[in-house]
Amino acid sequence: MVVSMIQLIIELPEMGSIKDKRRVIKSLKEKLIRRYRISVAEVDLQDSIGFTQLGGAVVSNSKDHGEKVMQKALHFVEEECLGRIQDVQIVSEVF
């Protein structure tokens, strides 16, 4: 079993309030879940208006497949997100 994970730190400079930020993040998470069938959560920076940290994971039987899904998800976030990606990490663990 292989668990592939992605961690993103995204700067959201146009947010006026936490409520606006949560609306944008919720929409992004739902799109990632529907499109790529990955688990996604806001894992840190919940109280920050200008930044968010998202984590995503997928379980598969191949490291290549899992990391390919994470790369596609990253590309989607780059194209769809209103903010700028500050940091990305993609890793896979074999169990």
User: Which CATH number does the domain housing residue 54 bear?
Assistant: 3.30.70.1120
The token duo for 93 is: 């663990």
Decide: helix, strand or coil at residue 75: helix
Q: Which pLDDT score is estimated for 12? A: 87
How many domains are contained in the chain?
A: 1
Q: Which pLDDT score is estimated for 40? A: 95
pTM confidence score: 0.85
Q: What is the pLDDT of residues 7-59, one digit of tens each?
A: 999 998 888 888 888 998 999 999 999 999 999 999 988 788 889 999 999 99
Q: Which residue segment(s) compose the domain that 72 sits in?
A: 2-94
